[in-house]
Chain A
């Protein structure tokens, strides 16, 4: 019996930061290394001392896996590897490896250069950290060491997002990261094969939502943007540089084209232009339609969307601005928000989830007076809209993934406790599997009961399957073998071979029983009567009368002699080996009952 544990150093019942530790068959794997964007203090990074207590992380962890480039999944990586200290392998997909350092650097700049925080990772640390990254292909089986292997599946959440299967022997865990089960305008849907993991660790951000059709939401979004622009208002769309931004850009670009609109659309500088380049170069990670048509028209070359300059924010007249970051917690989006918040003609559209503590979360929960840095109060008069464009699976999607992968246990993370409870019940009802939802820092232990692979000698297997091919297939045939365990190798061989390999001789155990029967006839006549009797009873056995006067039933030998004192009694010597004990003992009791009266 072995077990696997999953403990959340981050995630758990919270959407803040993801960091999960999985122990499977003696291997320790850390899944994601996120930071919490709602905090500016120690709480923003996971507590890594929790993992090893005092030991070195490199000694304890076999590998680290990053599911995608969002900071709540990779933001603590340089802190973890360079400041706490980890030198083992870090796995991620190629697009994640490409984009992750750029977002980290951006995050570092905001934190250190703008907010002036010290005790934070440096640019060099990001570079050194990325040197430890090994890029993986989709579906490639990566052998981390001799026993541990990992495999990435398409997750469709952002460019390069992946789910990971972690496998040791026949035990396995699947970690979904964030995923999306419905293809959108730029990415495909998550997909996994029927890999039947012992445990599926799934995000549950939208555990209770069953979202209406995508088309409706898109129409709604375009209508709101269009109305605001028509009445001369400004639209702010806080986004993360990569992901939703590209989807919404494609949406607006086509709408502007069709409606022949003139109001400018801007994309906040730097990152985003680069971001579009990444989409062009990693186009094989986008959806079918974009991949098919990219030679004729690359969807990530926008005509109507131009780079934003800080000065544009004060320009009169309508405009649409995509600005980072997405939760209004810092940077350009927050700056523009502060400028535009006082005008009721303007609108801010939050196209994704906001974690607690961010300005985004506050205004979405209805707060209209915000305390900003320096005790300043900002009054929000602009319209605040929330549109769920986050590419997370909704309840339907999560159920769909469980149906695809057929896990034996499900563990919900990256969601809010109340919502998770609802989903947990639904999963247990529909799939009859155990579902867990550990709190932060809580450990879930799942016992697995794996079967044990051994090597069987071909001779033994062929012997057994040959028997199995006999017409009587209904009765399961028993096979008999000897399991030899030496070092870590397990071999199932025939008992004869086991003896031979060990250089041992077989010890033959034989029994001979005397059975007395009353029969005045001559010996050979008695033998004949015994033979006919046995032949009649044992129809499925090979009963033979040998020339030397003895009888064999299979390997059991029967000889008759006259009793030395009583000529009317014959002594039958029944002789068999230990291996044929059942039959031998049965024969003696059968013969003891005497022979039937001869009718002849």
Chain B
């Protein structure tokens, strides 16, 4: 089978698998790092941003100064931010039968695929994935749509022009494929194509393939997928975690015995320990607030934020932060907090137990009840009345290019009392900060990425022992910035097959069997014979029916009864057709016994002659001769059909049929 690789981003994968007769898309991640090339979208008119100088080429030409602006030595596109889509030309995406989603971060490109490619299939995902995925999309659409931008820059994308631009714009890939954000109607339409599934639910695709989601331990409802037929098994591992945070633990056992294991979504910060990062997060937060400064935490509205709130819940009293307000600002803040409480079945054991009491599984319910945590849809409205400083604000988007976070960067950036703490690992924090430079505010980088690191991967692979591993090329070599760290790559035998964007891989597999069903009537008619101790054989002559990729063997239909008044038929009509095939024979014929049998059946003139390889049995009167050797018998007679049939049956008595 084949694997089409549509995304080069190892944690935002998009692959298409041709497996047996089905075409399966595995995730459709949206690479949003492209937005880092754009100027932030301020909610409130920002004099600083609007005064940035236009970019001028070395030769002094200014034709790009409307599209490109310069800020502290970096050049940014002054336009609605755009995203880098998965490859859409590598294969006809309207032929995709199903899309399997592994977690809510890996579905952000879904509307582009389902609404623009002629896709008519079904998308499978768990309920938390869909609900939280919807929230992420809603937030994204909302934060881009509420800041309408008059300008849509495209001149810079011209290949001839792009060549002249400074890095990183000059090296940006496939800029012609970059697209603006989708709209809510498109999101709704895309999500309506999703069918909800539960962990360990077996979903049949066209009778040929079965797919099953398994808990991956990374996020609420996150899954790995098993794609299998009766004889082949592909495991798709995407965004898994072995750390105990809030989701149900990862199901590793079900990944065993895979022919191929596709491995994506490993940690993006392999050198950072998530626990250590959480500790640093808390202490930096406390220090800033104690000194009278504000803390800004750019984040997604779901996921790690639940764990951070839980840590703070345990930490704030001991750290003397009980009176500091925590704000969570997002158009979906309320929904996210509410939804987190209703997915008991998708939570880790401890949280499940709380629901049985019944108590809310996440302590942020209590933070809200005691007014320590407040949530608002945006900085406008109630928030502006309640806003007290110093405070801690959680808000998006982590790229710092849109969303309420832009406002706080502009508001707090000028004071060194304030701190911005980066916890999301998806964007380089230096790149994220570039359009805000120069900046007085403190910046702390505490990336929390709970996905598998290379030590865990190597343990996992030893445990589940796939025959072949397939992974993005980034995992087969040390990170470019740490080329001596050969421990930061996948090490397994045989070495992994790697892929890169726009590549097509042929996956190795060897299949020798297929399932077939023997109908009960046929099974009843079989006569098993024990050939060797423990091994029985039965010859099967049956009719093969194949429908929906399922094979069934049935009894052959009874031959039609010959008509009662047997007319003389033309010779042609008697030509034999479609009679059951004769079995193969095996064994050898003991001459003495054979002769005795012949005599018992009325042959009185049997004579036996020895030859080099065996014997010749002569029936003198019948002028018939039977050559018997170890592995062959030859009956030579006159055209006397009854005699031949009689001899045949006597010979067959000594032989086994196959």
Contact = CB atoms under 8 A, between A and B. Distances in A.
B592 interface: no
A307 to B, nearest CB: 16
Contacts of B230: 455
Interface in A263-299: 274, 277-278, 280-284, 294-295
Interface stretch (B143-151, B257-265, B315-323, B528-536): B528-536
B388 interface: no
Contacts of B581: 478, 480, 579
Given A98-B356, A451-B518, A478 B542 contact: yes
Given A94-B352, A482-B538, A510 B632 contact: yes
A378 interface: no
B342 A139 contact: no
A482 B658 contact: yes
A458 B358 contact: no
A495 B658 contact: yes
B345 A135 contact: yes
Given A97-B356, A480-B581, A492-B540, A458 B513 contact: yes
Given A295-B335, A484-B535, A506-B586, A514 B638 contact: yes
B584 A506 contact: yes
Contacts of B571: 537, 590, 593
B512 A457 contact: yes
A407 to B, nearest CB: 18
A374 interface: no
B224 to A, nearest CB: 15
Interface in A438-482: 449-459, 461, 464-465, 468, 475-482
Contact of A581 (B519, B572, B582, B634): B582
Contacts of A458: 511-514
B572 A457 contact: no
A509 interface: yes
A484 B537 contact: yes
Contact of B543 (A476, A510, A585): A476
B546 A284 contact: no
Given A450-B520, A464-B544, A139 B201 contact: yes
Contacts of A504: 586-587, 656
Nearest to A515: B639
B544 A477 contact: yes
Interface residues of B, number: 92
Contacts of B551: 456, 461
Given A141-B200, A453-B515, A538-B575, A294 B544 contact: no
B635 A512 contact: yes
A589 B644 CA distance: 13
Given A455-B513, A513-B638, A495 B535 contact: no
Interface residues of A, number: 86
A74 B644 CA distance: 74
A311 B580 CA distance: 88
A141 B572 CA distance: 58
Interface string B206-217: 000000100000
Nearest to A137: B198
A486 interface: yes
A465 B544 CA distance: 8
A50 interface: no
A282 B545 CA distance: 47
Contact of B578 (A453, A455, A475, A509): A475
Nearest to B515: A453
A515 B582 CA distance: 24
Given A482-B658, A483-B526, A507 B540 contact: no
Interface stretch (B237-245, B409-417, B470-478, B552-560): B552-560
Contacts of B572: 537
A498 B588 CA distance: 17
B534 A486 contact: yes
A520 to B, nearest CB: 20
A502 B355 contact: no
B586 A507 contact: yes
Contacts of A507: 585-588, 631-633, 655
A510 B535 CA distance: 28
A138 interface: yes
Contacts of A516: 639
A454 B575 contact: no
Nearest to A590: B571
Given A455-B513, A478-B556, A295 B334 contact: yes
B199 to A, nearest CB: 6
A499 B588 CA distance: 14
A480 B633 contact: no
Given A457-B512, A498-B658, A505-B586, A452 B517 contact: yes
Contacts of B543: 476-479
Given A454-B518, A477-B543, A478-B578, A274 B358 contact: yes
A538 to B, nearest CB: 6
Interface string A556-579: 000000000000000000000011
A457 B512 CA distance: 6
Contacts of B212: 141
B188 interface: no
A480 B358 contact: no
A204 B206 CA distance: 35
8 contacts: A135-B345, A140-B201, A281-B361, A295-B334, A456-B513, A477-B543, A582-B579, A588-B641
Given A481-B539, A482-B537, A508-B631, 7 more contacts: A277-B359, A283-B342, A479-B542, A505-B586, A507-B633, A508-B633, A583-B576
| Across the A-B interface, the 6 shortest Cβ-Cβ residue pairs | A480-B581, A137-B198, A495-B658, A495-B584, A508-B632, A455-B513
